[in-house]
């Protein structure tokens, strides 16, 4: 986890840095809140892809 490269959406631009960040691991995606990076959860790549697709489909 120490070597994770954390990224955030290109649409993220909140002034207080209120962002969801993610890092790609071997078989999983780690997700965390930029304001509290110690709290994170892990999802499978398939679940992550489904989430991203659903968010893109509902983006206006």
| Residue spans per domain, the chain | 7-58
Q: What is the pLDDT of residue 17?
A: 66
What pLDDT, on a 0 to 100 scale, did the predictor assign at position 18? 74
Q: If the chain, 60 residues long, is cut into consecutive pieces of 10 residues, what is the mean pLDDT of each piece?
A: 78 69 91 86 94 86
Residue-by-residue DSSP string for 5-60 = --EE-TT---TT---EEEEE-SSEEEEEETTEEEEEEEEEHHHHHHHHHHHHHH--
């Amino acid at each position: 986890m120490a070597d994770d490269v954390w990224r955030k959406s290109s649409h993220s631009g909140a002034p207080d840095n209120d962002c969801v960040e993610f890092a790609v691991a071997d078989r999983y995606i780690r997700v965390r809140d930029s304001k509290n990076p110690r709290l994170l959860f892990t999802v499978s790549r398939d679940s992550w892809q489904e989430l991203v697709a659903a968010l893109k489909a509902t983006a206006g």
